[in-house]
Structure 1
Amino acid sequence: MIYRSPLSGLHIPPVFLSDHVLADAASRSDRAALVDAVTGEVVTYGELVRAADRGAAGLVAGGIAPGDVVAVMSHNQPRFAVAVHAVLRAGAVISPLNPVLTVEEIVKQLIDSGARALIVAESSADRGTEAARAAGVPHVFVLGTHPENGSWDDLVADARPMPPALTANPAEALAVLPYSSGTTGTAKGVMLTHRNLVANLEQLAQCWRLTEDDVLCAALPFFHIYGFTIILNSALLAGATVVTLPRFELRPFLDVVQRHGVTRGHLAPPMVLALAQAGEVDEYDLSSMRTAICGAAPLDEALAERAEKRIGCVIRQGFGMTEASPGTHCAHDEVFASTPAGAAGQLLPNTEARLVDPVGGEDVPPGESGELWVRGPQVMAGYLANPQATAQTLTDEGWLRTGDIARVDEHGYFFVVDRLKELIKYKGYQVAPAELEALLLTHPDVTDAAVVAMPHPTGGEAPKAFVVTSGAVDPQELLDWVAARVAPYKRIRAVGFIDAIPKSPAGKILRRRLKGV
C-alpha cells in the first residue's frame, strides 16, 4: 500500500539552490539575516548577497569551476552561510565537514569527495591545513586569519566581475555532498541535487510557515543536513533571522531565546533533556518560543511532555535522513498541537511512503509495522562512486529504504518504533559500528571486535565495544587508543572482553546477541 501526503501537487521551481533561497533578499536588504550570538556580528540580507557574490567571483577567479567540490568545515557562524552561498553561486558543490573530525578523518573525506578547495574556520585551520596538504587539496581559505593560507575575508573584499550564469540542469547538478553512513557501514558521499534541496525547502515551507517575523536559534550544526536545510536555508528563504551558536550549551541557548525572542525552536533529544531537568531554565523567559521541532534522533514521549510543561512550548518530532535532504515527515502547523506526541508527523507534500516486510519484501497490512520506504523529489541521486551501496538503498522505482521500522495510524501519522540499521545515534550524530570495528582491528592486541549501542544518560545511546584479544589489555588503554583516533562523538564509552564474537554462518556479526551484555 502506498501512503501519500495530505498535501500534494506542489510545484517545484527548476532553479538553483542559492538563487531560490536568496531570491527575495533584495527586498529585505536591511533586515538581519544572521546574528552571531558570541561576537554580536550582524549580517543583513543585502550584505549576505554581496559577500556571497564576491566570494563566488573569487572562487572562480582562483580556478574553481562548476561541478568542483569545495569542502566547508566550520562551527555555526554567519560566515558559514556566506561561504556556502558563495560556493553554490560559483556552481560548485559543498561538502560539509564536522570541525571535530581528526586529521585522518578529514583527509578521507577530502580525498573521497575529490575536493578542490577547503574553506575552514580559524579555530580548525591547523587541522584543516594539515589535512588539505595530505589530501592534495590545492586551495585553502580560512574564515579568519592563518599564516599559511588565504583569508576568506580578503577574498570577499575584492570586487571582481561576476562569473557567467550557471547553465547546468538543476535536476542533475549536485549542490551538496554531505557524508552519511546510510543504513549501515562507513560514511558515503550523499549526492543531493539543487532540485532535491529546493524541493525539500518548498515542502517544508508548506508545513512550517516561517515569516520575516520569525527568529531561529541555530545551536544544531549547519554541517549537518538538519541544520543546513531545516534551520539555515529554510529561515533565509522566508526572510527570518538566524542567531548562531557555535555549539549547544544550555545557558547561551537560553540567553539567545530570551534576548533575541526566538519564535520556533529546533532541538535534539539532549537539548530537550536539559530543558526538562536543568535548574537554570527557570531563570529565563522563554515565552517567545511557541513551538519546537525535535529531530536527529528519536525523542522519548515522557521526556518531551516534561519539557513542554517546564517551558510552555509545544514540542513535536519530525523524521528525515541525509539521503532525503533531509525531511520526509513533520507535524504540520495547522495540526501541530494535535499531532500525537510520539509521532514523527505526516508525510511532506509530494512524498509517498510504504511499509515493507523486511524479510519477505511485501507491503505489510494496514496497522502493522514494517520498514519505512519513502519516495519524493527530495530523495538523493545516489551515493558518490558507490553503485553497490546506492542499489542497496534506492530501488529501481525510486524508493528510499530508510532502515527504520514504522507504523501509520488511520490519520496518516507515522510512528517510528524500531531500527533495522545498525547505526548508533549519539546526540544525533551517526556512529557506524563497522568504522569503529575496522579501527579496533588495527590495534596490535585485538584479534576481533564488534561494536553495539549501549544506553547513555545524555547521548541517548553510545558505542560499546566487545573485543577478542591475543593477550591482556587494559580497558582504559583501549578506550584512550580509540579516542585518540576518532572524533569525540565516535568514542567508545565501554569495552567488554569475550572469547569469540558471535557471527552468522555467512560471517555477519550478530550484534543483537551482544546488546544488554
Structure 2
Amino acid sequence: MVFLPGPQYAPLDPIPDDIPISEFMLNEKYGRTPHAQSRDPFTCGLTGKSYSSRATVDRVDHFARGLAKELGWAPNRGTEFDKTVGVFSVNTIDAVPFFWGVHRLGGVVSPANAAYSAAELKYQILDSGAKALFTCVPLLSVALEAAALAGLPKNRVYLMDVPEAIMGGAKVPSGFKTTEQLAEAGKSLPSLEPLNWGPGEGARRTAFLCYSSGTSGLPKGVMISHRNVIANTLQITAFEKYHRASQPLTNGQPLHTDVSIGLLPQSHIYALVVICHAGPYRGDQVVILPKFELNVYLRAIQQFKITSLFLVPPIIINMLRSQDVCSKYDLSSVKTLFTGAAPLGMETALDFQKVYPNVVIRQGYGLTETSTVVSSTLPGDVVLGSSGCFLPGVEARIMTPEGEEVTSYDTPGELVVRSPSVVLGYLNNEKANKETFEDGWMRTGDEAVVRKGPNDTEHVYIVDRIKELIKVKGLQVAPAELEAHLLTHPAVADCAVIAIPDDAAGEVPKAVVVKSASAGSDEDAIEAIKKHVQDHKARHKWLKGGVRFMDAIPKSPSGKILRRLLRDQEKEARRKAGTKL
C-alpha cells in the first residue's frame, strides 16, 4: 500500500532540472516571491545588519566573481567536484549567499558541523575533496589543525565575517583573506558567463555534500543535487500554499510573510533547506543567530517580532524549564513553533501548549537523504505526537521486518519513501547506497505507523530508529516514548534511554538522567523516577535496567541523542565489572 499526500494541498509545480539553486532562489521567473514584496531574507540577530532581497542578488554575484578569480574557477569548466569548498563556521548572514555564489560557479558546498573536532573535520575535508576551507575566527584553531592534517595549504583557508560579539575579543589575524574581501574584489571583476546547463543537469549535479551517519556507520557524504533542494522548496511551498494565502497580512506586506528564527546550524539539512531556502523563496525574513544562548535568543524574538520558531526538542525543553527567564521577554509575536530533527514527545508538547496557548505546535519529519521534509503539520490539522501528513510529491510505504508491505493503518514497520527530493546517494560508498536506495525509494531506518487523524487525513508517526528499538521479551520499547515521559518528572532535567542485555528478557531499558536542581539524593531520585514509569507504563517498559546519572546527555547540534556513545560507555562499564555485555 503506497501512502500518498491528500487532495487538500496545492499541486506541485514543475521542478526545473536545468538550473542551479542560485538561479532558482534569485530569479522571480521560477515562482519565488517578487523581490519588491519580499522581506529582507537574512538579518543578523546580534547586530541588526541586513541584506534586502535585491541586495542579496548582488551579493551572490560578487561572491561568485571573487571566488572565480581567487580559485581560478569558471562556471563551465571542470566537474562540480573540481570546485568543492568546505564551510566550517557558526551561522552568519553571509553563509547562504556565499553558498549560492559557489553554486553560480557550478561548485559544491560541503558544510561541516561547527562542533567538530580537528580529526572529524579532517575526515570531511579529505572525504569531500574540498579545495578550500571557509571558517571563522572562533573556529580558526580547529580549522587550521584539520587543514594541516588533511594537507590543505594554509593559503586555502579563508575567514567568514561574524559579529564581534562572538569573537571573544579576538581580531581577524593577518595573512587570511575574508569573504568580505572576496566580495569587494568581485564588484570590479568582469561578469561571469552563464552556466550552460542542459535538461537534467541540475538533477545530476551535486550542490551540497552534507554528512550523515545514514541508517548506520561512519558519517557519509550525502550528494544533494540542485533539483533535490529546488524540489523540497517547492514541496514545502505547495504544502503550505492554501494556509498561507488565508493568513492576514502584516505590516503592510502585500503577501503574508513570516519572520523566522535562524538559530539552528546552517550546516544541518533542517536549517539549510527549510529555514534558509523555503523561507526566503516565499519572501520570509530569517533572523540569524550564531548559536543558542537563551537570553540572546529571547531578546531576538522580542526585538524582531519573530512569528515562526524553528526549533529542536532540547531548546523547547530548555524554554519550559527556564520560565523565570522567558517570562521577562515579550514573546507575543510568536504564532507557530515548528520542531524537527528529533521527535517531540506528546507530554512535552502539551506542557508547552499550557505555557504558550496561542502558539501552534507543528512537527515535521525528514532526513538529510530526503533533502529534508517528508511530512509536516499545518495549523488546523495538528495532532500532537504526529509528524504530520506527507508533502506533495511524496510516496511512502511501511515495510515489515520480513519485507512485506503493510496494507492497513496502525501497523508499524520501516518507513520507505520516494520523492523528487531523495538524494543522488552517498559519495564513494556503493555498499551504503545498495543498503539505502533502490529504484528511487529510500529506506529511512525509522519505524513508523500511519493513522487517520480527526480531520480524516493520514498522519505519520515516527516511533524510533529501528536499530534503537529495545526488545523486551519480544515486545518493542521505543526509547523516545520513555524519554518523553521521563522529562515530565521534576527530578529529570534531561535524559536518554538505552538497552542493556538481560538473561531473562533479552534486553531491558535503562535511563541515563541529568538530575534537575530540585532533585533530592541519588537514591531518592532513582526510586521516584522508576515509580514514575511504573505508574504510567506497561510492565515491559519499566526501567529494569536501572537509572544512571551523568552531567550532560551527549547530543548532536540538531538535538539527536548520541545513543551509540551511551551504549559504548555502558558496555565498557559492564566489561570492567565483569558482567554480561
TM-score w.r.t. the length of structure 2 is 0.72
2:282 pairs with 1:245: no
Shift of 1:313: 0.6
Distance 1:43 1:327, change over 3 A: same
Choose from 223, 237, 242 the match for 1:191: 223
Distance 1:224 1:258, change over 3 A: same
Q: What amino acid sits opposite 1:127 in the alignment?
A: V
Shift of 1:96: 0.3
Counterparts of residues 49-60 of structure 1 (less than 5 Å): 49-60=57-68
Choose from 46, 53, 58 the match for 2:54: 46
CA distance in 2, matches of 1:489, 1:127: 24
The SS at the match of 2:180 is helix
2:363 pairs with 1:317: yes
The SS at the match of 2:203 is coil
Shift of 1:215: 0.5
Of all paired residues, the percent bearing the same amino acid is: 33
Counterparts of residues 112-511 of structure 1 (less than 5 Å): 112-138=127-153, 139-144=156-161, 145-158=172-185, 159-168=188-197, 169-209=201-241, 213-278=257-322, 279-311=324-356, 312-332=358-378, 336-358=379-401, 360-367=402-409, 368-395=411-438, 397-410=439-452, 411-422=457-468, 455-457=512-514, 495=570, 496-499=572-575
Shift of 1:161: 1.7
Structure 1 segments of 4+ aligned residues over 4 angstroms from their partners: 209-212, 422-427, 452-459, 488-496
Equivalent residue, structure 1, for 2:492: none
Q: Which stretches in structure 1 are left out of the alignment for 5+ residues? A: 434-451, 460-478, 503-512
The SS at the match of 2:403 is coil
Equivalent residue, structure 1, for 2:249: none
Q: What amino acid sits opposite 1:94 in the alignment?
A: V
**1:311-334 deviations in Å (ceiling 9; x for gaps):** 2311121000000001100013xx
Tell me if the contact between 1:29 and 1:46 (Cα under 8 Å) persists in the aligned partners.
no
Tell me if the contact between 1:372 and 1:403 (Cα under 8 Å) persists in the aligned partners.
yes
Distance 1:251 1:337, change over 3 A: farther
CA distance in 1, matches of 2:417, 2:23: 27
How many residues were matched structurally?
Answer: 454
Shift of 1:422: 4.8
CA distance in 2, matches of 1:400, 1:406: 14
Q: What amino acid sits opposite 2:450 in the alignment?
A: V
Equivalent residue, structure 2, for 1:510: none
Shift of 1:214: 1.3
Tell me if the contact between 1:212 and 1:241 (Cα under 8 Å) persists in the aligned partners.
no
Tell me if the contact between 1:371 and 1:404 (Cα under 8 Å) persists in the aligned partners.
yes
Tell me if the contact between 2:38 and 2:284 (Cα under 8 Å) persists in the aligned partners.
no
Tell me if the contact between 1:207 and 1:331 (Cα under 8 Å) persists in the aligned partners.
no
Tell me if the contact between 2:361 and 2:382 (Cα under 8 Å) persists in the aligned partners.
no
Distance 1:152 1:458, change over 3 A: farther
Tell me if the contact between 1:273 and 1:458 (Cα under 8 Å) persists in the aligned partners.
no
Equivalent residue, structure 2, for 1:476: none
The SS at the match of 2:319 is helix
Tell me if the contact between 1:30 and 1:46 (Cα under 8 Å) persists in the aligned partners.
no
CA distance in 1, matches of 2:112, 2:233: 22
CA distance in 2, matches of 1:212, 1:90: 33
Tell me if the contact between 2:12 and 2:238 (Cα under 8 Å) persists in the aligned partners.
no
Distance 1:9 1:40, change over 3 A: closer
Distance 1:255 1:310, change over 3 A: same
Larger radius of gyration: 2
Shift of 1:498: 2.5
CA distance in 2, matches of 1:499, 1:137: 41
CA distance in 1, matches of 2:326, 2:36: 34
2:11 pairs with 1:16: no
2:110 pairs with 1:95: yes
The SS at the match of 1:55 is helix
The SS at the match of 2:463 is strand
CA distance in 1, matches of 2:309, 2:515: 19
CA distance in 2, matches of 1:133, 1:398: 39
Equivalent residue, structure 2, for 1:442: none
CA distance in 1, matches of 2:204, 2:141: 35
Distance 1:408 1:30, change over 3 A: closer
Shift of 1:212: 6.2
Tell me if the contact between 2:5 and 2:390 (Cα under 8 Å) persists in the aligned partners.
yes
Tell me if the contact between 1:355 and 1:363 (Cα under 8 Å) persists in the aligned partners.
yes
Provide the aligned C-alpha RMSD in A: 3.2
Choose from 84, 88, 91 the match for 1:69: 84
Q: What amino acid sits opposite 1:379 in the alignment?
A: V
Q: Which stretches in structure 2 are left out of the alignment for 5+ residues? A: 162-171, 245-254, 470-478, 485-495, 499-508, 517-550
Shift of 1:489: 8.5
Tell me if the contact between 1:204 and 1:327 (Cα under 8 Å) persists in the aligned partners.
yes
Distance 1:351 1:30, change over 3 A: closer
CA distance in 2, matches of 1:31, 1:123: 30
Equivalent residue, structure 2, for 1:446: none
Equivalent residue, structure 2, for 1:5: 5
Shift of 1:10: 3.7
Tell me if the contact between 1:37 and 1:243 (Cα under 8 Å) persists in the aligned partners.
yes
**1:166-220 deviations in Å (ceiling 9; x for gaps):** 1241011111000000011110000010000000000011223465631011111
Q: What amino acid sits opposite 2:179 in the alignment?
A: W
CA distance in 2, matches of 1:501, 1:457: 23
